[in-house]
Structure 1
């Protein structure tokens, strides 16, 4: 079995350095060597839990739920990536950045990948049933979004929108896990997070724009073209406004407003300095979104603690 490194993984990551050889292909399939994805899936869960704490300070911030959702984010992101790679094997073989991934490189067969996908999904379900019935139903419903996303790049110029629907889902389940019902705060948070995902994944897609054009894969990066920077700026601005509305509708005040300027500044920096023609520029700006997630969580927690 091949255990070669993946081209777009950070050098010296823990999978390459420490994982046993038998585990490496599966760890790479689940993107454990590229943790940015599960952080981006996890942060909306953390935001929603913190937002619920702001709305009901007496209930506190549920650290146990935070831990469960963190592990769940790792597993579901891994399952999603595994399913995506099964579907996209032929495409990945034609793109320089992805042809070294486990399935196109031959390190893992599609059947082995399917078994690994089922295993991750089953453990994720065990985590999901720790929550209330509404959250369980919503979590199961999210599988529809996970299932259709890999096909969207073939049929629409807006696959980033469908990624946003799936990757932002924690904004809803985090709230319902703690509150037990819907409300405007999580819906506004969800809508804002969808815009955030469209923005950052458009930046991410700039890395593959030439290969995508050659093989006919659609993306918002290709759709926006030379207008990418101002359009991403609009998506980020919309995300920030909706996040503010979500927080204020939950009872947040000036402390959150001041704290939220940090993630807003990070988003502005991404757009202001974005240069698709400079190697690694989109990669670095995309990865900085983990700090956007951390900063927004911290702003909400400061508001709750106060």
Structure 2
């Protein structure tokens, strides 16, 4: 039993399971809004709650597992990542590959039980979220690819509820894309020297810290704009506008932390962005409870 618990902990560390907090709120935000518009109620049912959670978890496990599998050589040469389970021998390449396959088939199986459109989109989604591992080896656009990967979460949520892709969810997803790409730029500042040494393509290694932070600010400004457009086009109300305002404040605070001290990148990356998604979700739920 102890070995099993330890193995579970190792795999949880491999995929940084606690970072699921970034994607989960936005898949459920989309499901809440879609359910309100289609069913007249923000509650979409226990079946979709379970399937939506399983879809988000298996998709993220696939993406992170595949990334760790592909990056074994890179992570081993980076002092910041050299103690990860994919490098220090706690999880073998074979076990990682099996883990990736299990989650890929798990995601497709979940999509099958959701609806036909979800099943059609399942494999293309896996290809997109898995492509990040390749992009950073030849293109600094990898930050946006990571953003697109998480931006698929709201689209998946709407497809699960209504089997359609309305315009408002595209706006929400574009906002998520810029949000994720923006904080990934800040996070990547930690690896600027290693990226240069290993010849990896990242905006920090090519343009330097100052321009990277400027790009991040631009991305997060666009995040707020697209989330505002999402609120307008989804015909949401007061709590949704408050969600956008608080998001702008939290993103500004994130940049304040990083500008003040690069050593606070982890705090800015995880704490601020984690709370942002949760606060956004709570306010959207309240908006759809009181103003539907």
TM over 0.5: yes
The equivalent of 2:28 in structure 1 is 46
CA distance in 1, matches of 2:235, 2:217: 27
The equivalent of 2:115 in structure 1 is 132
CA distance in 2, matches of 1:30, 1:233: 27
The equivalent of 2:194 in structure 1 is 211
Partner SS for 1:260: helix
Cα distance change on mapping 1:210 and 1:234 into 2, 3 Å: same
CA distance in 2, matches of 1:105, 1:68: 34
Q: Which runs of 5+ in 2 are unaligned?
A: none
Query: Normalising to structure 2: TM-score of the pair?
Result: 0.90
Deviation at 1:222, TM superposition (A): 2.8
Name the one with the larger helix percent.
2
- Alignment check: 8 A CA contact 2:196 2:205 kept: yes
Cα distance change on mapping 1:295 and 1:122 into 2, 3 Å: same
Give matches, 1:183-222, under 5 Å.
183-222=166-205
Deviation at 1:173, TM superposition (A): 1.1
Give matches, 1:8-19, under 5 Å.
none
- Alignment check: 8 A CA contact 2:42 2:285 kept: no
CA distance in 1, matches of 2:8, 2:154: 32
Deviation at 1:43, TM superposition (A): 2.4
The equivalent of 1:26 in structure 2 is 11
- Alignment check: 8 A CA contact 1:53 1:304 kept: no
Q: Deviations over 1:214-245 (max 9, x none)?
A: 11112123344212333212111111111111
The equivalent of 1:297 in structure 2 is 281
The equivalent of 1:163 in structure 2 is 146
Deviation at 1:276, TM superposition (A): 7.9
Name which of 182, 185, 188 aligns with 2:165: 182
- Alignment check: 8 A CA contact 1:51 1:247 kept: no
CA distance in 1, matches of 2:243, 2:64: 33
- Alignment check: 8 A CA contact 1:80 1:146 kept: yes
The equivalent of 1:244 in structure 2 is 228
CA distance in 2, matches of 1:140, 1:132: 14
CA distance in 2, matches of 1:45, 1:222: 32
| TM-align CA RMSD | 2.1
Q: Give the number of equivalent residue pairs.
A: 286
Deviation at 1:18, TM superposition (A): 11
The equivalent of 1:234 in structure 2 is 218
Partner SS for 1:168: helix
CA distance in 2, matches of 1:70, 1:286: 23
**Is 2:42 aligned against 1:60?**
yes
Query: Normalising to structure 1: TM-score of the pair?
Result: 0.86
Cα distance change on mapping 1:113 and 1:246 into 2, 3 Å: same
- Alignment check: 8 A CA contact 1:185 1:249 kept: yes
CA distance in 1, matches of 2:234, 2:283: 14
